Amino acid sequence: MDKKLKIVLIAMAILGLIALNLIVFLNAHEPQTADNNNETNIINTIVEHNIATEEETEADRKEMLSNSTEATRMKTYIGQYISAIDSKDYETAYNMLYQEFRNTYFKTLEEFITYVENKYPDEIMITYNNMEREGTIYIISISIQNPLDSNFQAVEQNIVIQEKDLNNFTLSFNVE
Amino acid sequence: MTFNSKLTLAIRNFFKKYGKILFIVFIVWLIIFLFNTYLKNIQREPIATNTYNPDNPVIEYGGSIPNSEKEPVKNTLDTYLKYCKNKQYENAYNMLTDDCKKYMYENNITNFQEYVDNIFSTYNSYSYNQNYSNVDNKYIYDVTILNSNILATGTTGGYDSYKEKITIVNENGTKKIANQGYIDNEEIGIEAEDDYLRIKIASKDMSYSRVGYNLEITNKTTRTIVVSDKQASKEVTLNVDGEYRTANNLDIENIILEPGETQTIQLIFDKYYDSNRNDLEINFNYIRVLNNYNENMALEEQNAAAIRIYSYNVGLK
């Protein structure tokens, strides 16, 4: 056989195998959906309420959270809590509260609703100021503002969160 | 022959010659591909990654806690902290090592009770642990105690936190606790003397960040001897691998020996327990043997009244 042809055919076979492997490799490395924000972004970052869409399954949400940093996960949880309040779904927000905290400060849902309606603006925007960790508990300092009302006096609050598992958390805040 | 027929013939010959090899290569590749696809599609339970790893020592020099010890060590610490939080003083006190009871609390449970009431100020205290360092089968933890369960208060009214090193040691086959940074006592039994002084170093008490040498020092003469009265610098030092460290407690205590007097003192020096450095000697750098002495004498007057001024090193090896 012509030597040149032999080389062409072997090269084609090798290139074919490389192309197949490349396809497999690219499929295996589809872009991640996780938010890999650096923790330094915690400070003074305006939160975009990262609410899961209706289609998003619990498994997808867990997968996304498992690829996130602790800071991002805590922001996501706070986003869920604030979103519930923002959309007047007070019962969901109330159920996120730590049991002992609820028993002490908000014995009933009505008490919680009264507090929230008096304390928080109609439109909520939050800014992260600081994050600390005490063992498995996180303390996140936030400012709550009304993006549509510059006269609204920002509410400074500590949100205390414990993550029991991915997308399974409980929280409390300083009541003042 | 045209190029096309040449090419066709060549391909046919190529596959005739290398067909088997190519088939085997293809089968191998296919197996690898299918296996990769299978691995990729295996359902795995996503887990959260945390930077809080209480079992990983902060100081890696001494290694991690052996797997067989992890659970007993954790249980010992958790049980002790639970007793403290619940103000079960006797149960908690009984978990302390004999050395710790003696050194930290003078073998008096009332002193321990005061400590517990001060640190675990409320029943609602919250604590968490971080393995800090492990040396010679002693497991040192950094324990943080908050005066409230911040999850229950939401930090309403603020909160205080307190940290201390707690060490878990094996004492007569039982896991025991040494708290407030204390680790243990080690017998030394070194004696040294010259014409003026007799020095016995009986033992040393080790804490995480300092070491205290227990000395008995005797004036053998009929004159007053000043070992330390804060008038000269570095009157007593510890040689740690060639680095001289001044005794901390001589800022407030003097060592002035009347004729024939014996004093029992502890000399405290800064030294981290896990520093892996050796104490070589204690240096008494400015011993003054005085003909006459009164407590108001300035250094110059002492120098003038001295029949001998000298330094004396007591080896620790």
Residue A28: the pLDDT is 57
Q: Largest alpha-carbon pair distance within chain A?
A: 90
C-beta of residue B74 within 8 angstroms of C-beta of residue B130: no
> What's the confidence (pLDDT) of residue A32?
43
Contact between residue B146 and residue B126 where contact means Cβ atoms under 8 Å apart: yes
Q: Per the structure block, which two tokens stand in for B274?
A: 């896990």
Chain A closest-CA separation from residue B256 CA (Å) = 48
Chain A neighbors of B52, CB-CB under 8 A: 133, 135-136
| Predicted TM-score of the model (pTM) | 0.76
Q: Closest partner residue to A63 among B46, B126, B154, by Cβ? A: B46
pLDDT band for A84, please (50, 70, 90 cuts). very high
If one compares A11 and B281, the residue with the highest pLDDT of the two is B281
What is chain A's mean pLDDT, rounded? 81
- Are the beta carbons of A174 and B155 separated by less than 8 Å? yes
Residue A120: the pLDDT is 93
Smallest CA–CA distance, residue A162 to chain B, in Å, is 8
Closest-CA residue of chain A to B51:
A70
- pLDDT per residue over B167-192, tens digit each? 999 998 899 999 999 999 999 999 99
- The long-range contacts involving B199-203, CB below 8 angstroms and separated by at least 24 positions, are B199/B284, B199/B312, B199/B314, B201/B282, B201/B314, B201/B316
Token pair listed for A22? 């490349």
Alpha-carbon span A53 to B150, nearest angstrom: 32
- Helix B109-119 and helix B98-105: axis angle, to 10°? 80
Is the minimum CB–CB distance between A76 and chain B shorter than 8 Å? no
Element (H, E) at B146: strand B138-146
pLDDT score at B122: 78
Closest C-alpha to B64, from B155, B141, B170, B163: B141
For an interface test with B, which of A12, A36, A76, A101 has the most B Cβ atoms less than 10 Å from its Cβ? A101
| CATH number belonging to domain B184-315 | 2.60.40.1640
Q: What is the pLDDT of residues A100-119, one digit of tens each?
A: 999 999 999 999 999 999 99
Q: Is B1 on the interface with A (CB under 8 A)?
A: no
pLDDT given at position A33: 40
Nearest of B289, B271, B256, B123 to residue B205 by alpha carbon: B271
pLDDT tens digits along B88-100 = 999 999 999 999 9
CATH topology of domain B67-180: Nuclear Transport Factor 2; Chain: A, (3.10.450)
| Rounded distance between C-alpha atoms, residue B12 and residue B17, angstroms | 9
Instruction: Provide, rounded to the nearest whole percent, the portion of chain B with pLDDT above 70.
Output: 99
Going from the C-alpha of B3 to that of each of A86, A88, B45, B113, the distances in angstroms are: 75, 78, 58, 101
Residues of B in contact with A174 (CB under 8 A): 153-157
What whole-number distance in Å separates Cα of residue B214 and Cα of residue B172? Answer: 24
What pLDDT does B61 receive? 84
Lowest mean pLDDT among A60-69, B231-240, B299-308: A60-69
Give the minimum alpha-carbon distance from A101 to chain B in angstroms, rounded to a whole number: 4
Q: Domain coordinates of chain A in residue numbers? A: 43-173
3-class secondary-structure state, position A92: helix
Q: Average pLDDT, whole number, for chain B?
A: 92
Cβ–Cβ contact A20 with B under 8 A? yes
How far apart are alpha carbons B225 and A45 in whole angstroms? 68
Quote the DSSP letter at residue B58: S
Among the CATH numbers 3.90.1150.10, 3.10.450.50, 3.40.50.150, 3.90.470.20, which is that of A43-173? 3.10.450.50
Q: From the CA atom positions of chain A, what is the Rg in Å?
A: 24
Domain positions in chain B are 1-43, 67-180, 184-315
Chain A positions touching B13 (Cβ under 8 A) are: 1
Contact A66 B46 (CB under 8 A): yes
Q: Is A135 on the interface with B (CB under 8 A)?
A: yes
Percent of chain B with pLDDT over 90: 73
User: Does any CB of chain B come closer than 8 Å to the CB of residue A83?
Assistant: no
Q: Tell whether A57 lies on the interface with B, counting CB pairs under 8 A.
A: no
- Contact by Cβ (8 Å): B99, B203: no
CA–chain centroid gap for A69, Å, is 9
Give CA–CA dist A114/A119, Å, rounded.
Answer: 8
For B99, other C-beta atoms within 10 Å of its C-beta total: 20
- B contact test, residue of A77, A115, A172 with most B CBs within 10 A: A172
**A64 to chain B: nearest residue by CA?**
B46
* Burial call B219-256: b when 16+ CB within 10 Å, e when fewer: bbbebbbbbbbebeeebbbbbbeeeebbbeebeebbbb
Query: Looking at residue A1, what is its pLDDT?
Result: 54
Four-residue CA torsion sign, A84, A88, A89, A94: positive
Residue of A nearest to B26 (CA): A17
Provide the token pair at A61. Answer: 């949400």
CA B81 to chain A, closest CA, distance in angstroms equals 15
8-state DSSP, B282: E
- pLDDT digits 0-9 by tens, A33-82: 444 343 333 333 344 444 445 456 788 888 889 888 999 999 999 999 99
Residue of chain B whose alpha carbon sits nearest to that of A22: B33
How far is residue B23's CA from residue B133's CA, in Å, rounded to a whole number? 58
Residue A22: per-residue pLDDT: 66
Asked if B285 contacts B228 with a C-beta cutoff of 8 angstroms, the reply is: no
Q: How much is the average pLDDT of B212-234?
A: 95
